[in-house]
């Protein structure tokens, strides 16, 4: 097995046993990037010198103390970060021309925590500019390709992160999800990804999209890797007032226990017309698989789902109008003409929705619907522990297929955008492949702060299946 194919826990074991060094692991990651990234185009910036410096330090620490991993759980593990995380001294663009030369003066809290845990940043990954999109086609720099089929999109907005993990260019990636940006690319590229409860991970130092919806999460080869990484980055941060002082459970320690009499709900609104038959069958089969663990599967209803796309986009773009006012071309950033078409569209629509006379009709209504969406989840979680649902109505689509039709692109977010307004967590895991060998993913949705349960259910599912272990063929 190649070093780059290792999961975090396996790589950790290898480092601890001194089967290979952190420098060797890092070298194989960069070799893989050099070989495959010219066609995949997942990375915007590489940070090679810093990375090797860190790897040398990691090797020294490991040689001195084998138990160092208790203190630094990700020591020597190479990863990538979506290019919306501020990294001091390393270019951070949000994939937008407006920030094409931006070098932050400070580092995002979550990146700092990964650094303290010993993880090694390889570089920054491509995304739709500012996280606005579902395919990476809205990046001002490049379109990332899906490693399973280079003519297809990797999903978005965190398409670079998903493609990097899927093609083993780094062991995990940290990304951001405002309305599906971790889950949808994870499902298009067959990796695992988690969108945490709003506030579970600090947003400090992450370029804002919609501040009441933005969440930070990770993508990896399997659920256990997500448990390991979220444990490191979760928790209260005084720099982000929306992070509560709530204990972070030991997700990894508790991973293997599964609640007895687990009750899984299938929200009927997510299995309606419009859902690809193969995706539907794969998710239903996944739920049926869980019955072998004595889980009970019952139909449930989230009746306000039909309003979710409208409410999410109104809320999101209104916050965009406020958040992107800071790129005024004076304090930092290039001139405002440098904004791409999707960014301009959202700023204009958002400003319109907030303007006097329209605020009540649009923004306020969206906020009222948001309360109803949250209430839908509260009601079903009184009856079931978690929900199984598709992530996207269809598998990865062709590059160029939807980019001329922004509305079609927005509507495709129907299953992911209900989650963020409600603030609940959702875990995306691979659950099948189409006849054309395109990955299918599903999401496991739970009540607020139920990450522990989601990891347990996802891990139990991955013990019963092997979809997450399949890798795209990249001629290596």
User: Known catalytic residues?
Assistant: 82, 157, 181
Tokens of 205: 């130092």
Taking CB under 6 A as the criterion, which residues in 356-395 touch ligand GLN? none
Structure tokens at 150: 């280079």
Residue 444 CB, nearest approach to ligand GLN (Å): 18
Question: Which residue's CB is nearer to ligand GLN, number 104 or number 316?
Answer: 316
How many whole angstroms separate alpha carbon 183 and alpha carbon 187?
6
SS3 for 445?
A: strand
Q: How far is Cα 148 from Cα 128, in angstroms, rounded to an integer?
A: 20
Choose between 179 and 472: whose C-beta lies nearer to ligand GLN.
179
Stretch that binds ligand GLN, among 130-138, 241-249, 266-274, 301-309 (CB under 6 A): 130-138
**In the set 78, 131, 170, 446, which binds ligand GLN (CB under 6 A)?**
131
Stretch that binds ligand GLN, among 45-53, 164-172, 177-185, 365-373 (CB under 6 A): 177-185
Q: How far is the CB of 132 from ligand GLN (least distance, A)?
A: 5
73 binds ligand GLN (CB under 6 A): no
Shortest approach of ligand GLN to residue 94 CB, angstroms? Answer: 11
Q: CB neighbours of 383 closer than 8 A, spacing ≥ 6?
A: 263, 265, 298, 300
In 349-446, beta strands by DSSP E: 386-390, 426-433, 439-445
Q: Which of 78, 154, 160, 180 binds ligand GLN (CB under 6 A)?
A: 180
In 3D space, the residue among 341, 349, 339 whose CA is nearest the CA of residue 319 turns out to be 349
Among the listed residues 73, 78, 118, 133, the single contact to ligand GLN using CB under 6 A: 133
Closest CB to ligand GLN among residues 240, 413: 413
> Which of 41, 97, 134, 168 is the binder for ligand GLN (CB under 6 A)?
134
Other Cβ atoms less than 10 A from the Cβ of 38: the count is 8
In the complex with ligand GLN, the residue whose CB is nearer, 29 or 311, is 311
Q: Which of residues 137-166 bind ligand GLN (CB under 6 A)?
A: 157
Residue 132 interacts with ligand GLN (CB under 6 A): yes or no: yes
In what helix (H) or strand (E) does residue 299 lie, and over which residues does it extend?
A: strand 296-300
Angle between helices 451-464 and 223-233 (to 10 degrees): 160
Shortest distance, position 157 Cβ to ligand GLN, whole Å: 4
Type and span of the H or E element at 16: helix 8-16
Q: Write down the least CB distance from residue 127 to ligand GLN, Å.
A: 8
- Give the contacts of 97 (CB within 8 A, at least 6 positions apart): 140, 334, 338, 339, 340
CA 476 to CA 289: how far, in whole Å? 33
Give me the residues paired with residue 352 across strands: none
Tell me whether residue 41 or residue 178 sits nearer to ligand GLN (CB atom): 178
CA dist 354 and 341 (Å) reads 20
Interface with ligand GLN (CB under 6 A), residue from 181, 192, 202, 218: 181
Please list the residues that pair with 426 across neighbouring strands: 195, 445
Q: Which is nearer to ligand GLN, 131 or 220 (CB)?
A: 131
Peptide bond into 383 cis (omega under 30): no
Closest CA to 157 of 132, 183, 179, 125: 132
User: Could you say whether residue 209 binds ligand GLN (CB under 6 A)?
Assistant: yes
CB of 236 to ligand GLN, least distance (A): 24
Binding to ligand GLN by CB under 6 A, coded x per residue (else -) over 316-335, reads: x-------------------
The answer to whether the Cα torsion of 171, 235, 187, 125 is positive or negative is negative
Using DSSP, state whether 425 is helix, strand or coil: coil
Site residues (CB under 6 A) for ligand GLN, limited to 298-317: 316
Taking CB under 6 A as the criterion, which residues in 423-442 touch ligand GLN? none
Which residue(s) pair with 240 in the sheet?
237
Q: Which of 211, 192, 195 is closest to 203 using CA atoms?
A: 211
Among residues 147 and 217, whose Cβ is nearest to ligand GLN? 217
Choice from 154, 413, 429, 450 touching ligand GLN (CB under 6 A): 413
Is the Cβ of residue 47 or residue 176 nearer to ligand GLN in the bound state?
176
| Core vs surface per residue 9-21: b (16+ CB within 10 A) or e | bbbbebbeeeebb
* Residue 128 Cβ vs ligand GLN, minimum distance, rounded to whole Å: 7
* Shortest Å distance, C-beta 102 to ligand GLN: 19
Total residues in contact with ligand GLN, by rule CB under 6 A: 13
Q: Which residues bind ligand GLN (CB under 6 A)?
A: 131-134, 157, 177-181, 209, 316, 413
């Amino acid at each position: 097995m190649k070093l780059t194919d290792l999961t975090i826990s396996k790589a950790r074991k290898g480092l601890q046993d001194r089967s290979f060094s952190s420098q060797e692991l890092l070298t194989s990651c960069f070799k893989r990037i050099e070989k495959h990234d010219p066609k995949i185009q997942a990375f915007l910036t590489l940070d090679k010198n810093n990375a090797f410096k860190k790897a040398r330090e990691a090797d020294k620490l490991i040689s001195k103390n084998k138990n160092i991993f208790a203190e630094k759980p990700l020591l020597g593990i190479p990863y990538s970060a979506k290019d919306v995380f501020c990294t001091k001294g390393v270019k951070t663009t949000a994939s937008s021309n407006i920030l094409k030369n931006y070098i932050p003066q400070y580092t995002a809290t979550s990146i700092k925590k990964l650094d303290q845990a010993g993880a090694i940043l390889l570089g920054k990954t491509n995304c739709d500019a500012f996280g606005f999109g579902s395919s990476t086609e809205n990046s001002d720099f490049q379109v990332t390709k899906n490693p399973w089929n280079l003519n297809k999109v990797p999903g978005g907005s965190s398409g670079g992160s998903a493609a990097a993990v899927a093609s083993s260019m780094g062991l995990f990636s940290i990304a951001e999800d405002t309305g599906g940006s971790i889950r949808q690319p994870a499902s298009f590229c067959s990796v695992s990804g988690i969108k945490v409860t709003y506030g579970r991970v600090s947003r400090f130092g992450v370029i804002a999209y919609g501040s009441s919806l933005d969440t930070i999460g990770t993508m990896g080869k399997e659920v256990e890797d997500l448990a390991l990484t979220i444990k490191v980055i979760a928790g209260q941060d005084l720099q982000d007032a929306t992070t509560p002082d709530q204990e972070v459970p030991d997700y990894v320690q508790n991973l293997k226990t599964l609640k007895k009499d687990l009750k899984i709900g299938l929200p009927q609104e997510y299995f309606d017309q419009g859902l690809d038959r193969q995706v539907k069958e794969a998710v239903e089969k996944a739920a049926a698989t869980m019955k072998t663990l004595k889980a009970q599967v019952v139909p449930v209803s989230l009746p306000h789902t039909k309003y979710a796309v409208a409410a999410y986009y109104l809320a999101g773009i209104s916050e965009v109008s406020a958040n992107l006012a800071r790129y005024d071309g004076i304090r930092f950033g290039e001139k405002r003409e440098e904004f791409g078409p999707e960014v301009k569209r959202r700023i204009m629509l958002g400003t319109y929705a907030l303007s006097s006379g329209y605020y009540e009709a649009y923004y306020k209504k969206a906020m009222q619907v948001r309360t109803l969406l949250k209430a839908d989840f509260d009601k079903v979680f009184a009856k079931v522990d978690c929900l199984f649902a598709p992530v996207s109505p269809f598998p990865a689509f062709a590059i160029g297929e939807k980019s001329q039709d922004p509305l079609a692109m927005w509507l495709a977010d129907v299953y992911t955008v209900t989650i963020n307004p409600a603030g609940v967590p959702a875990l995306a895991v691979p659950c099948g492949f189409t006849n054309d060998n395109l990955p299918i993913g599903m999401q496991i949705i739970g009540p607020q702060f139920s990450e522990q349960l989601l990891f347990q259910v996802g891990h139990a599912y991955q013990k019963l299946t092997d979809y997450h272990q399949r890798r795209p063929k990249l001629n290596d």
